[in-house]
Amino acid sequence: MKVELKILINENELKERLKTLGREISEAFNGEKVTAVCILKGAFMFTADLIREMETEVEVEFMRIKSYDGMKKKVDKLLYDVECDIKGKNVLIIDDILDTGGSLKFATKELRKRKPARMKTCVLLEKERKKDFKADFVGFKIPDKFVVGYGLDINELYRDLPYIAVVENNN
């Protein structure tokens, strides 16, 4: 697949924002232990870097929700669920991008059923468009464009880029 990419957020911008975001999240949870739930696969790089910036104890869990086929949005489906009991715990759901809000709303609804003490959401990117969900923490607001890199993909490609890039064309 041949695509043209234009860098939107470079590596240094990502690192600097994650430092601030880590502090904001730690303060919001009053330095208490947090169970970070990484939404796979797109948020794995973001989660790894973010939890290193948090100033609190963090345990990590994973959840996988299938939302896209290539660049086409599909119905959200739970493919992999967290393994630990989150009842009474502080939970931070970490996702790569808030697009329509569907997958984050889905994850929040699923995890809320398990009665965590507190639950907050964090996204690396939020598209400037109408959504039916609002994240508690947002790394960057971006234009309504398809992006890849730093964990985000098209058909499993481009996750390895150390920056966020806009897909200019898709042939």
> Active-site residue numbers?
99
8 A C-beta contact, residue 53 and residue 19: yes
Q: Helix (H, G, I), strand (E, B), or coil: what is residue 151?
A: coil
8 A C-beta contact, residue 116 and residue 130: no
The residue count of the chain comes to 171
Where on the phi/psi map is residue 101: left (φ > 0), alpha (ψ -120 to 50), or beta?
A: left
Q: Which amino acid is at 59?
A: E
Taking CA 16 as the corner, what is the angle to CA 60 and CA 155, rounded to the nearest 5 degrees?
Answer: 60
Q: Which amino acid is at 170?
A: N
